[in-house]
């Protein structure tokens, strides 16, 4: 019977995933075409590094000087995901929120229609 399959070897082969299934390329901020768009918000208390993380991810820049965000900072980030089947360009709209208590009512308005929230916190506090 050629149709009989060893179930343990089939299970093993299904769990194996090649390291090269996906690859990515970071595109310019001005790149106008995209297939999917996602809204990300970065939230957390004041002084925990939300803006530093956002700048590092979008511009590959780290600023040692601390300046408090007033309101919001907005970044666009374009990524080309490459797979064996096709390529997709994804635009990430990143909203870096302020952490001060007096702006909390404004921040909650930006939670709406968000695809992802990144919570940044300090373990020192």
Residue spans per domain, the chain: 22-119
Chain segment 70-83, per-residue pLDDT in tens: 767 888 889 999 88
> E strand or H helix at 55, and its extent?
helix 50-59
CB of 1 closer than 8 Å to CB of 50: no
- Separation of alpha carbons 78 and 94, rounded Å: 11
pTM (2 decimals)? 0.67
Neighbour count for residue 118 (Cβ, 10 Å): 16
CATH homologous superfamily of domain 22-119?
Answer: P-loop containing nucleotide triphosphate hydrolases (3.40.50.300)
Give the residue-averaged pLDDT of 95-118. 76
């Amino acid at each position: 019977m050629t149709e009989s399959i060893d179930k343990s070897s089939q299970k093993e082969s299904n769990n194996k995933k090649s390291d090269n299934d996906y690859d990515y390329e970071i595109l310019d901020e001005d790149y106008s075409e995209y297939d999917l768009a996602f809204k990300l918000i970065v939230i957390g208390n004041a002084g925990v590094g939300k803006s530093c993380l956002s700048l590092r991810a979008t511009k590959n820049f780290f600023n040692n000087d601390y300046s408090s965000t007033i309101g919001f900072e907005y970044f666009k980030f374009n990524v080309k995901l490459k797979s064996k089947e096709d390529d997709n360009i994804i635009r990430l709209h990143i909203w870096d929120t302020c952490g001060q208590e007096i702006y909390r009512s404004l921040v909650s308005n930006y939670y709406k229609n968000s695809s992802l929230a990144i919570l940044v916190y300090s373990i020192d506090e």
